[in-house]
Amino acid sequence: MDFDAVVSESVPALVVAVVSIVLGGALGGWITSRWELAKKRRETDLAAAEAFFAVHGEFYGIWQEWKGVRHWPGFPDEVERERHRWELFARSAAAQSRVEALVTKLATERTLTDDERTLIGCYRQAYRTLSKCIETGISLGVPLQRRPDGRVLDSSYEVWDRSGAPTYVTFKELATAVGALLARPGVTPSKEHAMKSMRAITANRYERPHWVVQAREVLGRATR
């Protein structure tokens, strides 16, 4: 076989081999890149979930201390009791700011349904119950009705003094729903979708006592 014949037979095979190597390398690099991105995203999601569980636990820690401050007879005077109250208020406000950070993360990093936006918005307002009650100096609970001037009707104030208090049960179910949302993988939204989510979640329509009714509607649909 002469040289030209050898070349004519070898070149096509060589070209196929080179193209296969190049394409294989490009495909492998793309797969690796996608895998690393997915892995990084998952790590970020899990870190956010852990932060949520921590700040939710802090809610209960501050709440228990607030009950002690309100009822403990051992304070030397009311000045000392008030000092402890405002220390707890500062802690609850700081915890609330971390909830705001998580809300922003969810709105900007996940494609959310309308129901998911409602759940997050309701949890955000429900969490604020703690600092509002400490600021006012009352037991933790939710006003179910308000007077025309905005003041709370005492007879409609539901204190969270038992695990089965309906609004307290709603808060616990909200925490479960938001925690589950954070724990599963999400899809990055468009800028327009993220802005819509942020506006919806932070809307005034969730202010107490409205968050209770709206949360129950969405939670009820989720269990059907």
Phi–psi pair at 152, nearest 5 degrees: -80, 140
Give backbone dihedrals phi and psi of 107, rounded to 5 degrees, phi first: -65, -35
What pLDDT, on a 0 to 100 scale, did the predictor assign at position 122? 96
Residue segments in the chain with a per-residue pLDDT below the cut of 50? 3, 6-7
Neighbour tally for 74: CB within 10 Å: 7
SS3 percent helix, strand, coil of the chain, rounded to 5, is: 75, 5, 20
The pLDDT score that the predictor gives to residue 6 is 46
Query: Do 173 and 126 contact (CB within 8 A), yes or no?
Result: no
This model's pTM is above 0.85: no
Query: Cα 155 to the chain's mean position, in Å?
Result: 32
**pLDDT the model gives residue 7:** 45
